[in-house]
Amino acid sequence: MREFKKENKVFIKSNNSTSKIFNRYLYCLIPFLLLIVFYNLIWGSNIYVLNLFKSIFISLLISILTQYIFNLIKKEYNISKVFLHDQILTISIILGLFSINSNIFLIIISSLVTVIIKNIFRDINISSTLYGMLVILLYSYYTNDLNTPLTNLKELSYVGTYELMVTPHGGIVDYLFGLNNIYLSPILSVIAFIYLFNKKSIKYNIVFSYILTFFIIMLLFGLFNNMNIWYLFLQLTTGNILFLSVFCLTDYTNTPTTGEGQIIYGIILGILTSVLRFVVPDLSVVISLILGPILLTKIINRISFKLKYDKKYYYLILSISIILVLITLILLNILI
């Protein structure tokens, strides 16, 4: 009788490929572009549309040239590889969306930084744009060129009324669809997440645990300070937290591999973003998403199998994470 060897593994058949996954991310960016173009054309803000195409074109041009130089150094002479395998078009569109109101020099620097980081750290793909965004935000931050709902929130010491905190930058529709030309549409970000989730192209455990942690902390902080549910709405629709959590939070190569590890990862980053939201509000998400892979991924991956196969160990760490959420909430209420 033939003897069969039993393996403790699970094999999943999938027709997903890296190129298909990144193409889906690219498709998800198109509605953001169309919304910005049509809304501003309708309301006569032609200069904003021109700035959008200018920022995307400059980002694309600098990114292509920089990536091609890196490819030449690696003796890869195929120019099509820059578009097909290096995700330069996706990266350039994301950078273009974030640098619409930036000067040409700043766009060039942010594009250079993004592509250089992408090539130095080979496990970084679309999330390399976070470094370019950080350049833009730091410049605006230190030149006092930021005029956003979050800077307004900071000036009010994070506690106030709906009229003082929300209405200076528009109404509910403006916040949900990004019609104030400050942040990218949260509604389109949610739709993009649903699409990527349905196509099995995103590590949804990270996004769920990250947003849920941030959701709980901001909800309870608002309720404890008599600001009701609108405060949570304000926090979720500002700072591009939903857009960045969909497009830059879950790079496959530099985030935890197991579902259990991804949940812990999302909770820790959610806590970090919540704390930074009261320190450097407009930079909070970008800094958190940069620090996550650097500080957490390797550690979580080392213990990922213990988390997966020893549920007691997993529940212990999960309990500690929940306690940290509560401690964070208490400290924020005491200090703010």
Mean pLDDT by 10 residues, the chain (336 residues): 48 64 92 96 92 95 91 77 75 94 94 94 89 95 88 91 92 90 94 95 95 95 92 95 96 88 93 95 96 92 77 79 85 80
Q: Are 27 and 51 in contact (CB under 8 A)?
A: no
pTM value is: 0.91
How much is the pLDDT for 76? 75
Kindly write down the DSSP assignment for every residue of 66-92, as one continuous string. HHHHHHHHTT---THHHHHTS-HHHHH
pLDDT of residue 1: 47
